[in-house]
Amino acid sequence: MYAIKDALGKTKPGMIKVRDGTGTSIYLEVFEVPVEGVGRFLQQIPPPLGLGTVDLEDGESVKGFICEGYVASKDSGFEVEEITKLQSWLEYLKLKT
């Protein structure tokens, strides 16, 4: 999980799925979004963020925010902070206030 600063200076969360056993559980909030609002919502998501499939501990999969994998590289062009150890975006926000 990463804290990613966008071009406007706003920091947003981004998760990258790993399958090599190095990942950890992250606390997520699951919201219901009306289908007719998804297109408008997608247009507001800046790169490198996107929507994708997020696997939950109970085996369910939901659509959620993900991040393109190149963000994890040192030359991604984005200011990023790796925050996986916090296991929650809310914990990161608490540290920053």
Q: What is the DSSP letter of 20?
A: S
Could you give the number of structural domains in the chain? 1
pLDDT of amino acid 94: 96
pLDDT in tens, 53-78: 998 889 999 988 899 989 888 888 88
User: In the predicted model, what is the mean pLDDT of residues 23-37?
Assistant: 87
Question: What domain range is 87 assigned to?
Answer: 2-96
pLDDT in tens, 38-53: 888 888 888 899 989 9
CB 63 within 8 A of CB 24: no
Calpha distance 57→26 (Å, rounded): 10
Q: What is the DSSP letter of 57?
A: T
Q: What is the CATH number of the domain that holds 21?
A: 3.10.490.10
CB 76 within 8 A of CB 70: yes
Work out the number of other CB atoms within 10 angstroms of the CB of residue 82.
Answer: 12
**Cα first-last separation, the chain:** 19
User: In the predicted model, what is the mean pLDDT of residues 84-90?
Assistant: 94
Calpha distance 49→66 (Å, rounded): 6
